[in-house]
Amino acid sequence: MHPIFSENRRLFGYLSVWLVIGCLAAALLVVGDYCPWASALLFSLPVFLLYGFVALSAYYVCRSLPLKERRLPQLALTFGATSLASGALLTEAAAAWMSTIAVIATPWSQFEFTHHLQAAIFGIGVVLYLLSIFGHDVLIAFENLRKAERRESELQMLAREAELQMLRTQVNPHFLFNSLNSISALTSIDAAAARDMTIALAQFFRQTLAMANFEKIPLSSELALCESFLTVEKIRFGKKLDAKIVADTDLQRSLIPPLVLQPLLENAIKHGIRNIAEGGIIEVNVTQRDAWLHIVVENPVEPDAPQASGNGMGLQNIRRRCVNLYNERARVTWKQTDNNRFTVELTIPFEMGT
Amino acid sequence: MMHTALIVDDEELARRLIREFLGKHRDIQIIGECENGLQAVEEITHSNPDLIFLDIQMPKMNGLEVLTETGRRAGVIFTTAYDEYALKAFDLHAVDYLLKPYSQQRFDEALEQARLQLGREPKAVAQLIDTTRTTRILIRDRGQTHVITVEQIEYVEAQDDYIQIHTQGKAWMKTQSLSDLEAQLDPAKFIRVHRSHLVNIAFVKGIERISKDAVVALMQDGSQVPVSRAGHERLRAVM
């Protein structure tokens, strides 16, 4: 069914436009000295109101020729034929109505339905139908646009959900198997340490699973995850690895996307600390400035080491996630300074959780 | 008969585990441990151990690059936690490897296998190394060792019995043939433009004819590299 019938307000609006058109037609009759106002209105209003319903058929005509598949000859033929037919219909209807009112209505000032008048009504009918086609085209295009927009936002939501799902199952296999190998080695060297490492590893995965369900989590949860992660990594890398995390107690409840800080630490170890013979310290600073939360991760890198080429992927991912989540109101930057330090800075809107 | 063994892994616990598993094999003498690829290259060249326990993912140079660099093929027992690309390559060439974490039993089997083939160069390993693209190149210069990535290489020039590798205004000398190096690099990125010249197309600014029968490749740093007729064809095909 035509979408206009789905809403009364729309239908009334549309019909009042046709009443105005009817009035204009009556005015033409008065100006043309065919008859006085009362008779002109009695004649034109019902005819044009009826034609308003006829013009709605343009919706189906437009729909039968989707915008993308239109070719000129076919277009001219369809639109031309339907408008001409509608114009003829209008003329016939006008003639029939005129003979009807001549019988039923008094007072009625009879006037002649000249060829001249017939041609004028026919022409008006064709033009109005073409306008209706045009209007429907615009309406359909607008509707399609809205549908596409809705579909896009749905897709975006799905993508975000898929991303969270992926995070939840995102286990770095290299980290897992190496940790298990370390535990295997520890069992005969230091059984208690092996147990501690097993527990830290389990805790790390449990925390990952728990927080990946949320779009945002309190900073304290992410920091707890980082602690478990560092506990495991410190056993693997021994004295080489140390970390200093500084975050105000007031900021513990501030909200951040899950799993953004932990991958930064992983990065710092993989591309920084691990390559340095004597190891190094990862420094994390979380601060609030005005409406923004800043997270800075800094680590030393091997001076001689080539700038890791694979480095970008993980960081790019974090940047994309933050930018998407905060609608462009987030910034993730990284740089390697001359004194062989690598810094990642993450800036997101400051939000306090409950 | 005693055999010597070298343990290469950047994690201490992983090295200690191998040490422990080797404990019951009285005929194996551990002559050293290395915690990165560079050390491994030095140690292999220096003491030529019978057996090498070699981790794939290591800082500075990975296990396969260590073998490329040293030319070593025999007596290698690979260990790895997880490395998609390496594992694929291993399976492709049917090269045996130890997946971490592994049991003493699995370790013993791999060791037994390696012992049987001692001194022989398994074809599978040779093939694996030949098809492995290098990402880093080791350069020894007055007692110092430098690592450069292949992306840094702008062009390479063959001299009498060594090659000169040009990177960011520096020229590194290395004893290797140009064809050897060419085989290790990605042919889509490195083009042999001349009998004695190899260029990284990422650093080629353009091709210029300087006389009737002399063409050069203009490099981003302003230098000109001679291009032969066949080299010109190859260069034009990719640019």
Tens digits of per-residue pLDDT, A237-255?
988 999 999 999 999 999 9
Specify the higher pLDDT residue, A109 or A43: A43
Q: How far apart are CA A285 and CA A296, in angstroms?
A: 5
Specify the higher pLDDT residue, B60 or B217: B217
Q: Does the beta-carbon distance from A181 to B17 stay under 8 Å? A: yes
Asked whether B21 and B107 are in contact (CB, 8 A), the reply is yes
| Two tokens, residue A329 | 């109101």
Among B7, B11, B80, the residue to mutate for chain A (most A Cβ within 10 A): B11
pLDDT exceeds cutoff 90 at B154: yes
Chain B residue with minimum CA distance to A310: B135
Domains of chain B, with CATH numbers?
3-125 (3.40.50.2300), 144-238 (2.40.50.1020)
Separation in Å, CA of A190 to nearest CA in chain B: 11
Angle at A166 between CA A162 and CA A169, to 5 degrees: 145
Model pLDDT, residue A113 = 79
Closest CB from A181, A277, A307 relative to B14: A181
Q: Does the beta-carbon distance from A177 to B82 stay under 8 Å? A: yes
In this structure, of A24-28, A108-112, B138-142, the range with the lowest mean pLDDT score is A108-112
- CB < 8 Å from B in window 265-294 of A: 274-275, 277
In B126-177, at which residue ranges do the beta strands (DSSP E only) sit? 136-141, 144-149, 155-158, 163-167, 170-174
- A218 — pLDDT class (breaks 50, 70, 90): very high
Structure ipTM over 0.85, yes or no: no
Q: How far apart are CA A126 and CA B153, in angstroms?
A: 74
The average pLDDT across A120-143 equals: 91
CA distances from A115 to A118, A121, A158, A311, B212 (A): 5, 10, 64, 83, 87
- Set of chain A residues whose Cβ sits within 8 Å of the Cβ of B98: none
CA distances from A313 to A96, A308, B88, B217 (A): 76, 11, 21, 33
pLDDT exceeds cutoff 70 at A308: no
| Two tokens, residue A321 | 């996630």
Q: How many CB atoms lie within 10 A of CB A38?
A: 14
Run of H or E residues at B32: strand B28-34
Asked whether A293 and A347 are in contact (CB, 8 A), the reply is yes
Model pLDDT, residue A163 = 72
In this structure, of A87-91, A228-232, A259-263, A317-321, the range with the lowest mean pLDDT score is A317-321
Buried b or exposed e, range B52-61, using 16+ CB within 10 angstroms: bbbbbbbbbb
CA distances from B67 to A348, B75, B77, B137, B153 (A): 46, 11, 12, 12, 21
The average pLDDT across A175-179 equals: 93
Q: Which amino acid is at A328?
A: E
Q: How far apart are CA A178 and CA A216, in angstroms?
A: 30
Model pLDDT, residue B135 = 80
pLDDT exceeds cutoff 90 at B51: yes
| Strand partners for B51 | B5
DSSP A311: T
Asked if A156 has any chain B CB less than 8 Å from its own CB, the reply is no
Q: How far apart are CA A322 and CA A257, in angstroms?
A: 7
Q: How far apart are CA A118 and CA A111, in angstroms?
A: 13
Model pLDDT, residue B124 = 86
Q: Count interface pairs A-B at CB distance under 8 A.
A: 71
- Kindly give, in sequence order, each residue whose CB lies less than 8 Å from that of residue B113, ignoring residues fewer than 6 positions away: B96
Q: How far apart are CA A116 and CA A119, in angstroms?
A: 5
Q: How far apart are CA B30 and CA B43, in angstroms?
A: 12
pLDDT digits (tens, 9 = 90+) for A55-99: 998 888 888 888 777 788 888 888 899 999 999 999 999 888 888
Asked if A177 has any chain B CB less than 8 Å from its own CB, the reply is yes
Mean pLDDT across chain A: 87
Fold classification of A170-349 (topology level): Heat Shock Protein 90 (3.30.565)
Pairing mode of beta strands B214-219, B224-227: antiparallel
- Set of chain B residues whose Cβ sits within 8 Å of the Cβ of A307: 149
How would you class B31 by CB atoms within 10 Å of its CB: exposed for 0-12, middle for 13-18, buried for 19 or more? Answer: middle
pTM of the model: 0.67
Mean pLDDT across chain B: 89
pLDDT digits (tens, 9 = 90+) for B186-238: 888 999 999 999 999 999 998 888 888 889 999 998 899 999 999 998 888 88
Closest CB from A180, A188, A274 relative to B59: A274
In chain A, domain spans: 3-155, 170-349
How many Å is the maximal CA-CA distance in chain A? Answer: 116
